[in-house]
Structure 1
């Protein structure tokens, strides 16, 4: 029980850190006219090209991209593009309003819409990579980046991403339904733990008068480290990597072995789940390796571009497991959703936000949980009639989209209802 609580806390810290990264990246993109022009140049050909050649692309692409047809649809239709924008908006609203990663709902949402799991993972990774490249804020964070730390970590993340990508592809080649079942099990496990902890955190916050102070938890700067980081840093396995010279006289040192292992974990999770791995980097750096929060933020931006980019391109794109139309639609939607969500937080109580986050994560959990029986039946692990499987799928899909849809409508309604007040705050 204590393990699951600690793991839930670990994931929550990472989700919050990743949400902050997403908000920073979105602000950079929307605040720069050149980046907006580039975004338009990426999206316009998809829209007009898709309308002109939808039927031809729909029949030709599977033949060229790996020869697989089981992960269809992998072609453009106006409905698919609109759906991707809506998914992006909902994920962005959760990220911006709640301050914790909304990316956890993207793969479940895509799979619920009929997209095969491996394609959902690859597309989500590419969407994160595109966002990271367009919104790169490296030039603002150079003083907080430990290049040596980042490079060794990336070495590990490449190993992990390769392993995760190979596992996903091998399972898919064996049986596409087995691939869906595998990815679904991963999400049931991860979202179950995060959802249970989020609900526990919300209920505890209601009882505590200092809920807002504890909402962000963890170390604000990372100058003090726990017993685990101290123990890892005590092992002298050369070469030793020095970091945090600006915070600690002479800096801290840690063996490259632990950096490679940590990077491998992050890269593996990125390639398996498609959430970029960024949600794990912050807690791994701060709570396991003992890196200061200041250095972690800058180095995370540095590594996520390479980790997500490598995993997306080398493990999924070249094998045809990326749905570019969806990726661009989600990017467009998330940029809008994050901004609306972030502004809505100014007029919504923190305790309400935390309650909604617990609901959103648990909705994703229930969606994958109810989808799992039909997946297991498809690979003959259990006996289940098709009718029962469809009913369970429908329950999971309806509960998921009702909760997420209600949250989206509520946040957007709050935003427009208080738009004059929000404009007044900006003017001040």
Structure 2
């Protein structure tokens, strides 16, 4: 197995762990009356503003200069959150990858899409997370060193985003789109290869388990063993339940720094990056990685969304609430739907949506490079690329959402009887 293949498997392991956590958060919010009241208190003013047409009160042009509130964009944010939730609940991974690209495709500036996506993750986390009993075998030393690094990384990532946007908003859009195109290409094409491989195996009658997360090394890698031999103080003890290991704080903080930058730049939780870096590079066990990842998402997303985006006007609160509402509902519907549909079909849809996200972000790059005078290409050709990218993306997301919702309502009676 190639190193890139191992990285993909570990990225998927991180996405799966984060999806499980998001399902737990959704359950904690929707099944708790106090949290539901808080959610309704946050959402109701936005609906009233929409009805009264008082857009400038919340999310108006004067408050958030790069983009402004419209009822259509708010409804679109609910739809995007719903679609992401359906993917997360159905597949158990990967739903959050489409949020920022979908918001950008809907007309929201890239830097606002990133800041808003990260704020919605933080809002969902503080409302739905019950920290005790959820952190597994987390090492306090690793958690502290990692969060220090992730905060520094998030600060750096936020500065990079704002600096690029201040220099040229078009460059900012190109930067974000290229990063998403690269990440989604890795996930999408390797996911497609997995899907084809499993499909062929099923036709031959070979039973295989889901490969999501299955590529994590069973033993500590040579790289991790080499890193653990370096004893730059202070040295952190961890994985006591797995024989006990030690590692220098500088490596954990450095990994936190990398995760913080990517989370801040992309507006995601960062779990898909934490897993390959922790397991493959540092040699940390999966349980400890899961616990640390949950903790870092809360701190990193909160710190980054507020100090690096919100205070500069790059969080669109109306859209964040729409994403929150849509994703909470979507996760529940998606999770129920998995009980009545074949797993391979679900995986096929996931691959389709991820590749559609890749196509959408890649399709806008030529136009951005043309605007920056970095590529001589006609405006007409760019418009065709963008049109095709939008058709592919919204078509794939729409097909998936319609299929899941249709399956859900078709089996609603069975779900009620079971519940």
**What TM-score, normalized to structure 1?**
0.92
In structure 2, what is the Cα distance between the partners aligned to 1:307 and 1:352?
A: 34
Unaligned runs of 5+ in 1: none
> Are 2:228 and 1:233 aligned?
yes
Could you tell me which runs of 5 or more consecutive residues in structure 2 were left unpaired when the two chains were aligned.
none
Which of the numbers 196, 212, 222 marks the counterpart of 2:209? Answer: 212
Q: Which residue of 281, 284, 292 maps to 2:277? A: 284
Q: Please point out which of 244, 259, 266 is paired with 2:239.
A: 244
Counterpart of 2:87 in structure 1 is 94
Q: Paired residue for 1:47?
A: 47
- 2:275 and 2:7 map into 1 onto residues whose CA distance is 14
SS at match of 2:269: coil
The question of whether the paired residues in 1 share the 8 Å contact of 2:14 and 2:213 is answered with no
C-alpha displacement of 1:84: 0.7
Shift of 1:288: 2.3
Contact 2:56 2:63 in 1 (8 A): no
C-alpha contact (below 8 Å) 2:14/2:275 kept by paired residues: yes
Q: Taking structure 1 as reference, are residues 364 and 21 closer, same or farther at Cα in structure 2, changes over 3 Å only?
A: same
CA contact 1:277–1:308 (8 Å) conserved in 2: no
Query: Which of these residues, 285, 288, 297, is aligned with residue 290 of structure 2?
Result: 297
d(CA) in 2 for partners of 1:385, 1:54 = 41
The residue that corresponds to 2:21 in the other structure is 21
1:134 match: 127
- How far apart in 2 are the matches of 1:30 and 1:143? 24
Cα distance in 2 for partners of 1:324, 1:64 equals: 11
Within the candidate set 376, 384, 389, 1:391 is matched to 384
Please state whether the residue corresponding to 1:144 is helix, strand or coil.
coil
Counterpart of 2:340 in structure 1 is: 347
Could you tell me which residue of structure 2 aligns to residue 169 of structure 1?
162
- Within 5 Å, give how 1:13-412 maps onto structure 2: 13-52=13-52, 54-57=54-57, 61-63=60-62, 69=65, 71-73=66-68, 75=69, 77-141=70-134, 144-208=137-201, 209-219=206-216, 224-248=219-243, 251-412=244-405
Partners of 1:346 and 1:366 lie apart in 2 by 30
The two structures, once aligned, show a CA RMSD in angstroms of 2.0
2:333–2:405 CA contact under 8 A, matched in 1: yes
Could you say if the C-alpha distance between residues 144 and 32 of structure 1 is closer, same or farther in structure 2, counting changes exceeding 3 Å? farther
Paired residues of 1:340 and 1:415 also in contact (CA < 8 A):
yes
CA distance in 2, matches of 1:120, 1:355: 27
Deviations 1:304-334 (A, max 9, x none): 1110111101111111111110000000000
Please tell me whether the aligned partners of residues 73 and 106 of structure 2 are also in contact (alpha carbons under 8 angstroms). no
- In structure 2, how many angstroms separate the alpha carbons of the residues matched to 1:415 and 1:52? 34
C-alpha displacement of 1:183: 0.6
Post-superposition shift, 1:413?
Answer: 1.1
- Higher mean Cα deviation, 206-215 or 316-325? 206-215
Shift of 1:416: 1.6
Shift of 1:142: 5.1
Shift in Å at residue 241 of structure 1? 0.8
Measured after TM superposition, the shift of residue 49 of structure 1 is 3.5
Q: Secondary structure at the match of 1:187?
A: helix
Measure, in 2, the Cα distance between the counterparts of 1:143 and 1:344. Answer: 28
Q: Distance in 2 between matches of 1:184 and 1:215?
A: 26
| Number of residue pairs the alignment of both structures matches | 415
Q: What residue number does 1:418 align with?
A: 411
The separation in 1 between residues aligned to 2:97 and 2:154, in whole angstroms, is 18
1:156/1:263 contact within 8 Å kept: yes
Distance in 2, matches of 1:178 and 1:359, equals 28
Provide the C-alpha distance between the structure 2 equivalents of 1:403 and 1:49, rounded to a whole number of angstroms: 32
